Each structure stands twice: as structure tokens, then as C-alpha cells.
Amino acid sequence: MSVVGEKLAVVSLGSSCQSAHQIKQNAAMLSALAGDELTPKRFPFDWVICPVARTGEWIRSSDRFPQSPMELSPYKQDGTFHWKKQGMFFWHDFRQQKAVDVEGTFSLTRDKYDRFFNSFDDLRKRERVIFVVSNTQNNLVSVLGDDYQKGCFTFTPENTRAVKQSAEVALGKPCELLVVTYDERSVPALESLPEERMTIARIRPDDSEWKGDDATWSALFQRYFG
């Protein structure tokens, strides 16, 4: 989950669940650092997997959710679905009483994502919006297989700049972007990106499956607000 306060919002832009998990995990500390009571709130990108370049396209698109269940392809793990049009993967949706039911939950899930995007659009009311994007979830390669390479999860100056600019255009205001990555999952030129309000945080790989290392994330948030 992302977190929102009266003046500040810290919101995940993916590329996977780790960003949202760590934002929620550090909500109390972020509140103290920012001097704003931040509460969890879900946004469209919190619990999906989507390459950063496609996230920017998704933000700009008028098609923010599949038109019908026919646009969803069952993926490798039971209950996961690939929406090829936007290049993203639903990992935790379309379930009813823990059972997968795309047809039965499609309308409810569509309405849910409409609310998530309405919340995203409302971010323009906040004085400060910090977006967080990471590609440090360790199991991305194993759960996506060949689609990991095809999806271009590697961070570059072009795709990180594009997702930030897409969010800023959508909200009609300047925003900040915190980019969290491993050396092997980003190009060296990322450091030289002359983009205002963008911070690159390179961290060391940990041994978690998907959550990331709590101490590492807490430290990088402290540095960011310090």
C-alpha cells in the first residue's frame, strides 16, 4: 500500500509489489520524517507487476482496465493474469473467497481500479507527491521467466524519465521520483540523468524472495528525507 497525508503522498509506481510493501512497512517512520500523518491507501500500481516504461503508457492511456475478461490471459501461476495490451500482470486480483473467478469478479475489480485511479488523480491536491519505483524484487526473474527480458525491467534514463513525466502530466504538477535499483538491473548512465526531483538509490541485493530488506529500505527513506 502507498501512504497519503494532508500535504504529502508517498506512492508506488511499481515495478512490482516490493515498492508498495516497503512504503507501508515504513509508514510510521515516513510520517515522523515528513511531519505529516500518513495512512495507507491503495493505488493502481501497488500490487501489480508492470515494467516502468509500460507504467508510463498505462498512466497516459484512456484504457486503464481491460474491456472484458477476454483481454486477460491466464499466466504461469494460478490466479495471475497478463493484460498484454498494457504489458502488465495482475498478481492478486480476480479472487472470490480465495478462489479464482475472473468472470464473477470482473465488474467488481474494474470498479475497484476505477477508484484506485480516482485516488491517483486526486494526488494533484497534495502539496508534495513522491513516487517510488523499484526493480529490486528478487523473484521477478523466476516468476516471469522470458517475459522478464521481454518486458524491459532494466531501468534506463529514458524509461525512468518517461514514467515521471507521465505522472506529472496526468496530475498537472511537478512530482518527485525515488528510483530504487540494483547495479545489474539498471544502466550506469542512470546516475547522469539531468532530471530535476529524481533521486537514484542503488542498493545491494538481499536474500528475500520479494519483500526486500527492511533495514535497507528504512535507511534509504531516511537518507531521502534527511
All domains in the chain, ordered by first residue: 2-59+116-225 (3.40.50)
Instruction: State residue 5's pLDDT score.
Output: 98
Give the tens place of pLDDT for each residue, 103-115: 999 999 999 999 9
Confidence of residue 93 (pLDDT cuts 50, 70, 90): very high
Residue 218: is its pLDDT beyond 80? yes
147 dihedral zone (left: phi>0; alpha: psi -120 to 50; beta): alpha
Give the tens place of pLDDT for each residue, 5-49: 999 999 999 999 999 999 999 999 999 999 999 999 999 999 999
Instruction: State residue 184's pLDDT score.
Output: 95
Residue 194: is its pLDDT beyond 70? no
Strand order in the sheet with 88-90: 48-49, 88-90, 81-83, 72-74
DSSP 151-213: TT-SB-HHHHHHHHHHHHHHHTS--EEEEEE-GGGB-GGGGG---TTEEEEE----S-SSS--
Confidence of residue 158 (pLDDT cuts 50, 70, 90): very high
Residue 105 near residue 96, CB atoms below 8 Å: yes
CA distances from 214 to 2, 10, 77, 223 (A): 16, 17, 26, 14
What would the grid cell of residue 48 be? 501489480
Instruction: State residue 98's pLDDT score.
Output: 79
Instruction: State residue 225's pLDDT score.
Output: 95
pTM of the full structure: 0.95
Mean pLDDT of 117-136: 98
